[in-house]
Structure 1
Amino acid sequence: MDTTHLTKFYKKKHTDKIEALYLAGVISKKEKETLLNRTLELDSETGNHLIENYIGNYSMPLGVAMNYVIDAEEMVVPMAIEEPSVIAASSFAAKIIGSAGGFNTEVTQRRMIGQVTLKNIANFEEASRKIETAKQDILSRANEAYPSIVKRGGGARDLEVRILKDDSDSGIPTFLSVHIHIDTQEAMGANIVNTMMEGISPYIEELTGGTALLRILTNYATECLATATCVIPTNKLKTATFSGEEVRDRIIEATQVATIDPYRAVTHNKGIMNGVDAVVLASGNDWRAIEAGVHAYASRSGQYRSLTTWQKNDTGDLVGELTLPLPVGTVGGAISIHPGAQLAHSIMNHPNAHTLERIIVSVGLAQNFAAVRALVTEGIQTGHMGLHARSLAISAGAKGDHVQQVADILKHSKHKNLQRAKNILLNLLEEFDK
């Protein structure tokens, strides 16, 4: 990738941005033409097969975040999102972190978890022992239920038994849950896991004497974790108002607040998910599943906490870390048929599932750095409202060059609202007509 063509990307006109991506080697000539001709939209026939009662497409803006260096590789990251400031913040954070060496990542083995949950168990200890004794037979039966994943090198790998007992006085009965850990290869694997769970449930009922109540995957993918870290010297943190050391300490303190206060943690983690969801959505993956699993992971201690940690090392540098459960895939579902998802994977140079995890968790850490840095320095509204001004200009009816003209005036106005944007546009049009 030749990044020289991507300098000051955000200042380029729309067609020039697409040309720059082509010259940089990020997109092909065919993809360039697709973007220029605006033929990226899902066609009605495909849409009709994807969902029930299809009536049309609800479009989301697709953009690219710049400046990412992930495991020593320069990357352009596609993001689908409607919030104005997210991609700008992502690119800004990636530039700072990239100049300090970028992100380093680690991923665990990719294993999804399926559950067969049973009721009416007479003896939980005895049932658990029988399942453990029959472990290999259960795994074999799971693999027989979906032989194609075994042929591709995946399949059921491990088993765990959990007794689900409520210690409160709620009156909820005790259940038995059998977890199967499954290597789904490049797929997110929901259909694979669900088919396996339904395939083994009669045998587990026979073993335990219980009744299978639930046979489905869990989106709490604790066996599919991705971690990103970064190290930022203090000289890269200073602002016009704060020294680098002050910014570092304020970021650390703000994260400490999010670690002990769930009210702050929710918003803190929402900022992380601004970036995560945008890449997950662009890549054609299930952002609802990712959201559910991530927020459960934030509560694993028994209290909802910050997903990131920010500390200082022995030399005084700011060190950030983020771990997320990321059961994403690169094949199956909308990924293989949605033109937007296909373009997104092409922009990322067709990553495998492990690499896609590495990209997503890095974006989450960058997004958190940008948000918390803004919060503890100039405040979140300075940058956010500057970008939001363009949305107000468009809502006021501005078109073409008038959009930026209205936005520029609005950014310096005391009142930044739709009525003010309309008044600015009216004044510009009156000046133009003179």
Structure 2
Amino acid sequence: MKQSSYSGFFKLSPEERLREVTEFCNLTSEEQEILKDPNCLDMDKADHMIENVIGRFALPLGVGLNFKINGKDYLIPMVSEEPSVVAAASNAAKIIRESGGFTTSNTGSVMIAQIQITDVADPHFAKIVIEENKEKIKTLCNEKDPILVKFGGGMEELEVRIIESIIGKMVIVHLKVNTLDAMGANAVNTMAEAVSPLLEELTGGKAFLRILSNLAIHRLARSRVKIKKETIGEDIVDKIITAYAFAEADPFRAVTHNKGIMNGIIPVVLATGNDTRAIESGAHAYASITGRYTSLTTWEKDKNGDLVGTIELPMAVGLVGGATKIHPTARVAVKMLGVKSAAELGEIIASVGLANNFAAIKALATEGIQRGHMSLHARNLATVAGAKGEVLELIVAQMIKEKNVRLEYAQELLKKFNSK
């Protein structure tokens, strides 16, 4: 049975790491070349992805190790420019693995399309009329995407809200659409456009904005862990809960706490070609859904004194359409995960977010966040200064020892070592 648990993976060369990943994920020689080639996205594909293309921009692709989710081992593709993120995820997953790993669930794959109806003389009456025509609206919507309906998706429910605004009352119609393994923006937007004339006819109002909502409250991903007190120590359990209590109570702390969660989430979303802005905005909106911005995770102590943690957030990711299918590296990243559904992908991403959150608050509650950050920062500065190989390691060690992590000092040390 393949295991994602490795010892000394960071000591391997990039080529050796790729060989390990190739064996675990059954990558072909062509897929290996895609991962190694910064130009795998050719200019023609790039030119069709966005407008005004003049080039391509490469970022490091690493792998999160040690993840056991619902009893299955995963190597997690992560694209990030920030040092310590991948290492933090891997270290946290190793600790969590000792207590059984991550357990996940989801609430389905329903997205919301919103239609804003203005200039309605009798909004409460109009609300009832719209609800009475639910089946007619549903039929009209589903005619726009017969393939989605064929595979079990399509519009399922209708919700009508009346909201107050600075220009008066508005009638807001929510189409709840099961988008299956697609993120679903195109599908729900098309349905919203199609049904708008009928809604105008029913209400006597004007259908204005017709667009999906990224606050995907019907598409939540959940992950939970239990970390035995013997694994990390009872005092650290208490310290982590104290750190979490700060984030739960104070939005100034919560936003940085949640940024640490997104440190894990966004790299996987990006690696798989999904929409990072949709996930980011949905997550922060969900953190505020009660009217007060707070933590996306919870940390508690159970009756045995073990640490238990949970995460729940909107996870509108897809496996079909968009960059997930166009970008060669995104296709390889999806294969590396071996996921069978968008829901499974969302659960994995949520688990990585929970791992990075645990790593961050554990570091904050013990040695402080700077210790790991400065070590990696020193390595970056030594690289920028031009150091390589053994000399690079010597410079990093010297800067850390003297707590003098600056580019100028790295350059000074490089001259010193080169002169020897």
> Normalised by the size of structure 2, how large is the TM-score?
0.97
User: Unaligned regions of 5+ residues in structure 1, if any?
Assistant: 238-243
Q: After superposition, where does 1:13-412 map in structure 2 within 5 Å?
A: 13-36=13-36, 38=37, 41-166=40-165, 171-237=166-232, 244-412=233-401
Q: Measured at CA, do residues 290 and 177 of structure 1 come closer, stay the same or move farther in structure 2, by a change above 3 Å?
A: same
Structure 2 partner of 1:422: 411
Q: Measured at CA, do residues 25 and 279 of structure 1 come closer, stay the same or move farther in structure 2, by a change above 3 Å?
A: closer
| Preserved CA contact (<8 Å) 2:6 2:66 | no
For residue 111 of structure 1, report the CA deviation from its aligned partner.
0.2
Deviations, residues 322-380 of structure 1 (Å, cap 9, x unaligned): 00100100110001110110111011014410110110000010000000000010000
| Preserved CA contact (<8 Å) 1:194 1:215 | yes
For residue 399 of structure 1, report the CA deviation from its aligned partner.
3.4
For residue 93 of structure 1, report the CA deviation from its aligned partner.
0.1
Q: Measured at CA, do residues 297 and 154 of structure 1 come closer, stay the same or move farther in structure 2, by a change above 3 Å?
A: same
C-alpha separation in 2, matches of 1:414 and 1:78: 32
For residue 7 of structure 1, report the CA deviation from its aligned partner.
2.9
C-alpha separation in 2, matches of 1:20 and 1:411: 31
Q: Measured at CA, do residues 4 and 369 of structure 1 come closer, stay the same or move farther in structure 2, by a change above 3 Å?
A: closer
For residue 223 of structure 1, report the CA deviation from its aligned partner.
0.4
SS in 2 for 1:3: coil
| Preserved CA contact (<8 Å) 2:25 2:336 | no
Structure 2 partner of 1:240: none
C-alpha separation in 2, matches of 1:386 and 1:101: 30
Q: Measured at CA, do residues 290 and 49 of structure 1 come closer, stay the same or move farther in structure 2, by a change above 3 Å?
A: same
For residue 229 of structure 1, report the CA deviation from its aligned partner.
0.4
What amino acid does structure 2 have at the position aligned with 1:158?
E
For residue 31 of structure 1, report the CA deviation from its aligned partner.
2.2
C-alpha separation in 2, matches of 1:156 and 1:236: 47
| Preserved CA contact (<8 Å) 2:5 2:66 | no
| Preserved CA contact (<8 Å) 1:65 1:90 | yes
C-alpha separation in 1, matches of 2:24 and 2:106: 29
C-alpha separation in 2, matches of 1:160 and 1:188: 21
SS in 2 for 1:145: coil
Q: Measured at CA, do residues 340 and 40 of structure 1 come closer, stay the same or move farther in structure 2, by a change above 3 Å?
A: farther
For residue 40 of structure 1, report the CA deviation from its aligned partner.
5.8
For residue 245 of structure 1, report the CA deviation from its aligned partner.
1.4
What amino acid does structure 2 have at the position aligned with 1:10?
F
Structure 1 partner of 2:12: 12
What amino acid does structure 2 have at the position aligned with 1:213?
F
For residue 173 of structure 1, report the CA deviation from its aligned partner.
1.9
What amino acid does structure 2 have at the position aligned with 1:73?
K
What amino acid does structure 2 have at the position aligned with 1:258?
A
Q: Measured at CA, do residues 181 and 5 of structure 1 come closer, stay the same or move farther in structure 2, by a change above 3 Å?
A: closer
User: Unaligned regions of 5+ residues in structure 2, if any?
Assistant: none
For residue 26 of structure 1, report the CA deviation from its aligned partner.
4.9
Q: Measured at CA, do residues 45 and 402 of structure 1 come closer, stay the same or move farther in structure 2, by a change above 3 Å?
A: farther
SS in 2 for 1:229: strand
For residue 127 of structure 1, report the CA deviation from its aligned partner.
0.4
C-alpha separation in 2, matches of 1:404 and 1:208: 71
Structure 2 partner of 1:241: none
C-alpha separation in 2, matches of 1:374 and 1:26: 35
| Preserved CA contact (<8 Å) 2:67 2:90 | yes
| Preserved CA contact (<8 Å) 1:187 1:332 | yes
C-alpha separation in 1, matches of 2:343 and 2:101: 18
C-alpha separation in 1, matches of 2:240 and 2:26: 34
C-alpha separation in 2, matches of 1:165 and 1:5: 54
